[in-house]
Structure 1
Amino acid sequence: MGFPGTWMTESESMVYRVVPKCACSTIGQIMYFSDHGTFFDGDIHDSTEGLHKWAQEASQPLIEANVRAHKSYAFTCVRNPYARILSSFFDKIAGIQRNGKRYRGNLVPQLIQRYGIDVGSPENGFEFDQVRSFRRFLLFARDTIRWRRPMEPDIHWSAMAGHIGTFINNGGRYDKIFYTETFNEGMQDVLDHVKTPVKVDLAKIPRFNESEGHGPKRAHKVSAYFDDLSKHLIWEIYKKDFQLFKYDFDDPDNKFPIAEIDLDEVHAKLGK
């Protein structure tokens, strides 16, 4: 199994377990910058050098040796499950991707046919009933996660606990899990614990939101998208995420956590 979704700086100053839709583009660019003094030109997910990634075969033995020996500071970042799945819907389902096409080719047409989802188009200014379509998408997301039908769950809406747990299960240990909602404080704490070849001034780092501007803007506050049934589905999919990362299930509009993450609890509950 190894350490899928794990990135490490070439200097081995830090190790990061990517969680999709949780500031991963910005974190990856900060790691790249901390070694090279420049940002990667393009989406950091497309880089094939300058940053060790588990998806790059040559990086695997280096990442594995580092993580198993806990040689470097290891961290990840989480996000409110309500906001995260809404972001996934607007980016991946309703939005047009960087390549000018729909995400995963036939996925959106399949959702339109099977679940009655309408996502508008650039031609009509992405005019559609956002609440109705999102709730139908939520049924689809639950079906993929619960029954792996009509397809395997997508990394962008599968539970954060699943992503984070693979690192622990295969012998890794986190030093820090911080929140997207308080990104600067969390990322600064990581940087304070590591020595990097290039000093990082977080105040001068831009935000790399690779999904921004490709689709419709969210028209309502978060809670408008979640009726009782939707909340039931969200709990079914993300129960562990709420419990382990201390987000407020009862109030979708409260994006902030309601307690501190207990790292020992996370390792105990997500480990084998």
Structure 2
Amino acid sequence: MGFPGTWMTQSESMVYRVVPKCACSTIGQIMYYSDHGVFFDGDIHDATSGLHKWSMEDSQPRITANVKAHKSFAFTCVRNPYTRILSSFFDKICGIQRNGRRYRGNMVPQLIHRYGIEVGGDDGKQEFDQIASFRRFLLFARDTIRWKKPMEPDIHWSAMSGHVATFIANGGRYDHIFFTEKFNEGMQTVLDRTETPHKVDLATIPRFNESEGHGPKRAHPVEAYFDDLSMHLVYEIYKRDFQLFKYDFENPGNKMPLSEVDLDEVHAKLKD
């Protein structure tokens, strides 16, 4: 299985396990800049050079050798499950993607037909009942994760613990897991503990939110989208994420973690 979703700087200063919807565009650009002194021109997910990625065959032996020997500082970044699933809905379900089309072809028409979801019209910009549609999307997300129907779960709403676990299961060990909600603090720890060819000043780094503008703006506070039933569904899908990454299940309006991540606990619980 190897190390899917793993990126490494060409200088091998750091290794990062990507977790979708958790500041991965910004982290990838920081990694690229730390090696080359410039940002990648475009979406870092499209870069096919300047960064080692598991998805590129030539990079796999280098990543494997590094991770197995724990040669470099290894880290990942996580996010509150409530805001992450909301972000996935507005970006991937309601939004028009970089290629000018809907995400994953016929998935959105299928959702409209099967689950009665509205997405804001053809361009994602019309008004619609965001709360009702999001709650129906949650049912779909749960169905994909629990029963793999009507399709396999998508990486953007599958549990963070599943992404994080593959790195551990195949012999990797994290030195740091930090929160999107405390991004500068967490990323600074990475930079303080690595030697990079180019110095990175986090205060001047732009945020590369590649999903921004894809879909409609969220019209309500986070907690408005989650009634008792939808909180139950979220817990059914993301129970392990709440427990391991210390987020507040009881209060969808509290996006901040309740404590730091216990790395030993994460490794112990996700190694199998």
Q: The TM-score by the shorter chain falls in which range?
A: over 0.9
Q: Is the 8 A contact 2:94 2:124 kept in 1?
A: no
Rate the CA distance shift 1:123–1:152 in 2: closer, same or farther, 3 A.
Answer: closer
**Number of the residue aligned with 2:36:** 36
1:177-208: CA deviations, max 9, x gaps?
Answer: 00000000000010000000001111111000
Amino acid at match of 2:61: P
Other-structure match for 1:95 = 95
- The 2-side partners of 1:178 and 1:85 are apart by 18
The Cα shift of 1:96 comes to: 0.8
TM-score with structure 2 setting the length: 0.99
How high is the sequence identity, in percent, across the aligned residues?
Answer: 79
Aligned to 1:111: 111
Q: Secondary structure at the match of 2:22?
A: coil
Q: Deviations over 1:69-96 (max 9, x none)?
A: 0000000000000000000000000111
Say yes or no: does 1:208 pair with 2:208: yes
Map 1:75-154 to 2 at 5 A: 75-121=75-121, 125-154=125-154
Q: Relative to structure 1, is the Cα distance of residues 270 and 124 closer, same or farther in structure 2, using a 3 angstrom cutoff? A: closer
Does the 8 Å CA contact 2:96/2:123 hold for their aligned counterparts?
A: no
Deviations 1:131-184 (A, max 9, x none): 000000000000000000000000000000000000000000000000000000
Could you tell me which runs of 5 or more consecutive residues in structure 1 were left unpaired when the two chains were aligned: none
What root-mean-square deviation, in Å, do the aligned CA atoms of Structure 1 and Structure 2 show?
A: 0.8
C-alpha displacement of 1:125 = 3.1
Following TM superposition, by how much is the alpha carbon of 1:126 offset from its aligned partner in structure 2, in angstroms? 2.4
Unaligned runs of 5+ in 2: none
Cα deviation, residue 27, structure 1: 0.1
User: Structure 2 vs 1, CA of residues 27 and 124 (structure 1 numbering), >3 Å: closer, same or farther?
Assistant: closer
Residue identity opposite 2:180 in structure 1: T
Match of 1:4 in 2: 4
Q: Which runs of 4+ in 1 moved over 6 A?
A: none
Distance in 2 of aligned mates of 1:133 and 1:189:
39
Number of aligned positions between the proteins: 272
**How far 1:259 sits from its partner (Å)?**
1.2
Tell me: CA distance 1:18–1:123, structure 2 relative to 1, closer, same or farther (3 Å): closer
SS at match of 2:68: helix
Paired position in structure 2 for 1:220: 220
Q: What is the letter of the counterpart of residue 141 of structure 1?
A: A
Q: Does 1:178 align with 2:215?
A: no
Distance 1:119 1:206, change over 3 A: same
TM-score normalised by structure 1 residue count:
0.99
The separation in 1 between residues aligned to 2:218 and 2:109, in whole angstroms, is 21
Deviation string 1:93-127 (CA, Å, 9 cap, x unpaired) is: 01111111110110100000110101112668321
